[in-house]
Amino acid sequence: MDNFELIDLLCVIDACASDRSAGRVVPMSRAVEELRVLTGDFVSSDEDAANALTQVALERGCSVLFDERPGADIIA
């Protein structure tokens, strides 16, 4: 989380979380893209951004969906 401001991470998680039958779910590909647009940071790795966002999402009681592969966004 060192590269990103906490307020930016919180805003992205709240904006990207969707309510599903499984609870609040954050699709990580969307969250990483939103964080990049919000902060203008296109230099940090996707892994660093995803790690920071995942930590905040889990602390907020959200499930995290790592959906970088085709079809991974389908929740049964």
Domain map (residue ranges) of the chain: 6-64
Tell me the whole-structure pTM to 2 decimals.
Answer: 0.82
3-state secondary structure of 53: helix
pLDDT over 80 at 32, yes or no: yes
Largest Cα separation within the chain, whole Å, is 35
d(CA 6, CA 53): 9
pLDDT over 60 at 71, yes or no: no
Burial label for 62, CB within 10 Å (0-12, 13-18, 19+), is buried
3-state secondary structure of 71: coil
Please, which pLDDT band fits residue 76 given cuts at 50, 70 and 90? very low
